[in-house]
Amino acid sequence: MSKQKILIVEDEESLLKLESILLTSKGYAVRGVSNGQAALDAIAEELPDLVLLDIMLPEMDGFEVCRRIKSHESTRNIPVIMLTAKKSREDMARGETVGADWYITKPFKSAMVIETIQRFLAK
């Protein structure tokens, strides 16, 4: 059985490394990118099973990345979990509007992130 693929989109290098190590240790195939355009390029190259997406990214924010993922037939069913420091009600509502499947705020508990990922990938 092949590993489930997770794309992590995070511009803060230390967090990207931490999340990559965490998910790799749980048996996932992880690819990390640091901006929105790189995320869209990575998805075009190889469809991930799930996207872990920060909102505050250079050039194109996570909301726009999510909107683009959810607006294409070939990618709309990929679960997108927003993982962000933006925790206002407006930000969460906007995440829902652009199609995010779940919203986790930083600082986060690793166990909660793993649990959420497992729940979406079990579907």
**Local confidence band at 53 (pLDDT 50, 70, 90 cut-offs):** very high
**Residues 76-82: what's their mean pLDDT?**
97
Q: How far are the Cα atoms of 25, 41, 74 from residue 44, in angstroms, in the given order?
A: 26, 5, 10
- Residue 117: exposure state from Cβ atoms within 10 A (0-12, 13-18, ≥19): buried
Q: Nearest to residue 38, comparing CAs of 5, 10, 63?
A: 10
pLDDT over threshold 90, residue 2: no
Q: Which CATH superfamily groups domain 5-121?
A: Response regulator (3.40.50.2300)
What is the arithmetic mean of pLDDT over 37-62? 96
Overall size of the chain counted in residues: 123
Q: By mean pLDDT, which of 35-49, 59-73, 82-96 is the weakest?
A: 82-96
pLDDT-based confidence at 1, cuts 50/70/90? low
What pLDDT is attached to residue 86?
86
Q: Which two tokens stand for residue 63?
A: 């909301």
